[in-house]
Amino acid sequence: MFLGDKEMKFKGDLNINYKHKFRFIRMFYYIKQIIIKWFIQMDNQITNEGIELIKAYEGFRSNAYRDIVGVWTIGYGHTKGVKSGDKMTEPEAFELFITELADYGYRMSLLIKVPINDNQYSALVSFVYNLGVGALQFSTLLKRLNKGDYTLDYDGNVIIESKTKYKQYAIKSEFERWNKAGGEPVYGLLRRRKAEYKLFRS
């Protein structure tokens, strides 16, 4: 074997080791989130108010269409695998909608390290259904949420008092900053963020 071959083999082994290392880190992070979720005993369910909020802002469309940023969409905001000419009935769309809500809710819950009530859970599901789990994952909203940058009473409801208004404003402003599509402010998105925050604090 030539020296160059040995160097190539070493580099190849190094790349494989890095791949195993990163795979292990990802697995460790995933298991860590599962453990966190288990310890805080999160067993939230989306409320009827949350479902109706999302349905109202997504709207139902039986024929595939391009949304405001050009993504092919159908049903109640479904985008995965959608193409021009696709059709869907309302019962089909609603069944898919409920399945996706459960999936978004589960993936979102892995990011949350503090107890939340069902209204807060529902508001955040609406947020990620619209923007994606990745938007929440790297947001200041999630950081403030996990820091407990709001106050709860013994029943899990948000306390609205003068001494905690700055904390309420912190969460409110983090919802409302996500009001853009294609880099431009959209009034409909601001209305949705306000509705989500109203549900979050109810």
Domains of the chain: total: 2
Question: What residues make up the domain containing 180?
Answer: 44-58+101-201
**Does the residue 31 lie in any domain?**
yes
Q: 105 with 184, same domain?
A: yes
- 85-124 CB burial, b ≥16 within 10 A, e <16: ebebeeeebbebbeebbeebbebbbbbbbeebbbbbbbbb
Q: 129 with 182, same domain?
A: yes
Instruction: Encode 7-72 in three state secondary structure.
Output: HHHHHHHHHHHHHHHHHHHHHHHHHHHHHHHHHCCCCCCCCHHHHHHHHHHHCCEEEEEECCCCCE
Q: 52 with 152, same domain?
A: yes
In this structure, are residues 103 and 80 in contact, taking their beta carbons and an 8 Å threshold? no
* pLDDT tens digits for range 65-76: 999 999 999 999
* CATH label of the domain that carries residue 112: 1.10.530.40
pTM for the model stands at 0.73
Please give the positions annotated as active site: 58
* pLDDT tens digits for range 24-44: 555 655 555 555 444 444 578
* pLDDT tens digits for range 156-188: 555 444 445 556 667 888 999 999 988 889 999
